Chains A and B, each alone.
Chain A
Amino acid sequence: DSGVTQTPKHLITATGQRVTLRCSPRSGDLSVYWYQQSLDQGLQFLIQYYNGEERAKGNILERFSAQQFPDLHSELNLSSLELGDSALYFCASSVGQTTDTQYFGPGTRLTVL
């Protein structure tokens, strides 16, 4: 158990819908990262927040957004969902902003029908 929690574990929804994925980092960690794992793209970095502020952006679509709250938990919002958004979404956390070891949560499996 890494100490990073994610909810829900599974999510099934329809095209065009909007969903919110939630992540709680390990105690003491200030950074939260979101990654997407899909069969065709592999594991890709989406976005990082550090202590409430956006720190880095990767291959995140404009339909996706994220935020980190004062209690340091983070939410990833996915809107206007398409079939291709079906994937495993991981959250990771680390102590600092850069080059700190990242610990991953169990992931949320999103299926868009």
Chain B
Amino acid sequence: GAGVSQSPSNKVTEKGKDVELRCDPISGHTALYWYRQSLGQGLEFLIYFQGNSAPDKSGLPSDRFSAERTGGSVSTLTIQRTQQEDSAVYLCASSHPPPIGRSEQFFGPGTRLTVL
């Protein structure tokens, strides 16, 4: 079956521009997570969706970051006025709702964002 897909796979942008990253979760997975991995760092939690609502946005690093999810499926992570420190691999994961879904989150291949 289809796994989690993300687009684009790579994105190069200039400092100050806005970018949108897309995640298509596994069908039927109501829980969706965004993480990012900066160079030499572990995976850092950004935001959690259950259905279309985001009960945990505690990992978003600044108000330049926002995310939405529509139809309980596709999610978009938007970074406004990108900065060089935003350069990272942005990973999306989906799972069945907690607590069942805690046993495994399924990750997409990520979007590598480079801000020049």
Bind each other? no
Residues of B at under 8 Å CB distance from A?
A: none
Residues of A at under 8 Å CB distance from B?
A: none
